Amino acid sequence: MTQAPVRPQLGRSVFQHFDQQGRTPQLWRSALLLSLRATALGLLVVELVVLVLWATEQGSTSGPSGALRTGVAFWLAAHHTGFEIRGGHLGVTPYGLTVLPAVLLWRGGGRLGRAFGVYGRRPLLVLIAWVAGSYAVLTTFLCLLARHPGLHPQPAQALIGSAVVAAAAAGAGALRAQTWRPSVPPRVAAVARLTVLAVLTVLAVAAVAALLTLVLHHHAVTETGQAVAPSGSGAFGLAVLDLLAVPTMVVAAASVLLGPGFAIGHATSVSLSGASLGPVPALPVLAALPSAGPFPLVALLVLLIPVGTGVLAGIRITRDLGEIREMLLRAAYVGASTGIVFAVLAALVGGPGGPGQLAVTGPSPWQLGLAACVEIGGGALAVAALRAWRLRAARQQPATAAG
C-alpha cells in the first residue's frame, strides 16, 4: 500500500518540510531547470529564424554575432524590455512573440504542479516564486549579450517583465494541474467571469474588424511590402514582424471601436472621429490605415458593440439575481473592472516606438479605460436599473392592493 505524502503542518516552514522529505534540492533544481529549458528553447527558435533571415538576405553588412544579438534583443523585447537607442527610447513589445515563452513556461509549470502540488499549496507557491526568480535572473543576464553601441536594453525592465511572465505562465500551468481551487466569493467570481466575457467579445470583434481592414487594403499592404523588401527573405521577415504585431493591432482596433482610438507618433492618429496621417514606420500592416479626414457620423454606430456587450452582461446579471442592490453593484463592478482591464492592455501595447515623432504610440490608457467603463458599464447598469424598477414596481403592487 502506497503511503500518502505528508503535507506541511501549519506554522512549519515549507523549507523544513522539504528538508525532512529530502526534496529541497529538487525544489530549486526543478525550478532552475524549467527556467533554463524555457530560455534555451525559446532563444533557439528565435535565433534560428533570425539567422535564416540573415543568411538569405543579400547585401547584409552585419556579421553572425550581430544577428545573434538581434535575436537576443527580440527575446528581451518579448518580455517588455525597453531599449535606449540613438536619439530616443524603444519600448513597444511584440506580444506575438511573448506567446512562445508563455507556452513553454505554462507547460513546464504544469509538470511541476503535478510533481510537487501533492505536498500542498504553500510548497507550490514557493516553487512558482523560484521559477519566476530564476527565469528573471537569466533574462536579465541576457541584457549583457544584447548590449552594443546604439542599443542598450534596460535590465530593470527585463527583470520585472520576465518575472511577471514567468509567474503568470508557470503559475497558471501549475494551478491547472491541481485538483484544489482557491475559494472565491460568488460576487467576485461572477464579476470576473462577466468581465472576461465582455473583454473577449470586444477583442474578437476588433480582430475581425482589423482583418477586414487588411483585406480591403491588401493592394496597399502588398505594394508596401514589395517596396520595402523586394527579396524573398526580406518579405518573410516583414511578414514575421506583422504577425508579432497582431496583439497590438487588435487592442488598437478595440480602442477605435470604443472611441478614443490610437496614435502612431505625434502626427498620426485614428479614432471614431477621423484619421490624421503623418510619417509612420514602413511596415506593410500600417499601409492599411484609413485615409486622412473625418469619418461619417454613421461610424458612431460601432459604439453599439461595447454598449451591447454591456447589455448582455446586464442580462446575465439580472437573470440570476433578484436582489436590487446586488444587481446594481455587480453591474457597476463589471463596468469598473472592464475599464481597468482595457487600461492595462493599452498601457502594455503602447510605448515609445523610437526617436522623434514616434516617442508616443498606442492607445491612451486612461481614455480607453474610461470609455470601456462608461460604455460597457453603462449598458450593464441600464439593464440592471430597468430590472430593479420592474421588481420594485411588482413588489409595490401587492402592497397597494392590500391597502
Give yes or no for a contact between 309 and 341, defined as CB atoms under 8 angstroms apart.
no
Residue 260 confidence (pLDDT): 93
CA-CA distance, 242 to 239, in Å (whole number)?
5
Most confident of 5-19, 98-112, 236-250: 98-112
Asked whether the predicted pLDDT for residue 6 surpasses 50, the reply is: no
For the chain, what is the HEC assignment? CCCCCCCCCCCCCHHHHHHHHCCHHHHHHHHHHHHHHHHHHHHHHHHHHHHHHHHHCCCCCCCHHHHHHHHHHHHHHCCCCCEEECCEEECCCCHHHHHHHHHHHHHHHHHHHHHHHHHCHHHHHHHHHHHHHHHHHHHHHHHHHHCECCEEECHHHHHHHHHHHHHHHHHHHHHHCCCCCCCCCHHHHHHHHHHHHHHHHHHHHHHHHHHHHHHHCHHHHHHHHHHHCCCHHHHHHHHHHHHHCHHHHHHHHHHHHHCCCEEECCCCEEECCEEECCCCCCCHHHHHCCCCEECCHHHHHHHHHHHHHHHHHHHHHHHHCCCHHHHHHHHHHHHHHHHHHHHHHHHHHCECECCHHHHCEECCHHHHHHHHHHHHHHHHHHHHHHHHHHHHHHHHHHHHHHC
Asked whether the predicted pLDDT for residue 17 surpasses 90, the reply is: no
Q: How confident is the model at residue 268 (pLDDT cuts 50, 70, 90)?
A: confident
Residue 40 confidence (pLDDT): 94
Q: pTM for the whole thing?
A: 0.86
For the record, the C-alpha cell of 385 comes out as: 436599473
What's the average model confidence in pLDDT over 56-68? 72
Task: Calculate what percentage of the chain has a pLDDT beyond 70.
Answer: 85
More confident residue, 345 or 177: 345
Most confident of 28-32, 140-144, 386-390: 140-144
User: Would you list the domain boundaries of the chain?
Assistant: 14-176, 186-395
More confident residue, 183 or 130: 130
Task: Calculate what percentage of the chain has a pLDDT beyond 90.
Answer: 41
What's the average model confidence in pLDDT over 366-392? 92
Residue 356 confidence (pLDDT): 64
Q: Please provide residue 361's backbone torsions phi and psi, each rounded to the nearest 5 degrees.
A: -135, 155
For the record, the C-alpha cell of 66 comes out as: 550581430
Asked whether the predicted pLDDT for residue 280 surpasses 90, the reply is: no
Residue 4 confidence (pLDDT): 47
Asked whether the predicted pLDDT for residue 206 surpasses 50, the reply is: yes
Asked whether the predicted pLDDT for residue 82 surpasses 50, the reply is: yes
The pairing of beta strand 274-276 with beta strand 293-294: antiparallel
Residue 329 confidence (pLDDT): 92
More confident residue, 148 or 50: 50
Greatest C-alpha distance within the chain: 93
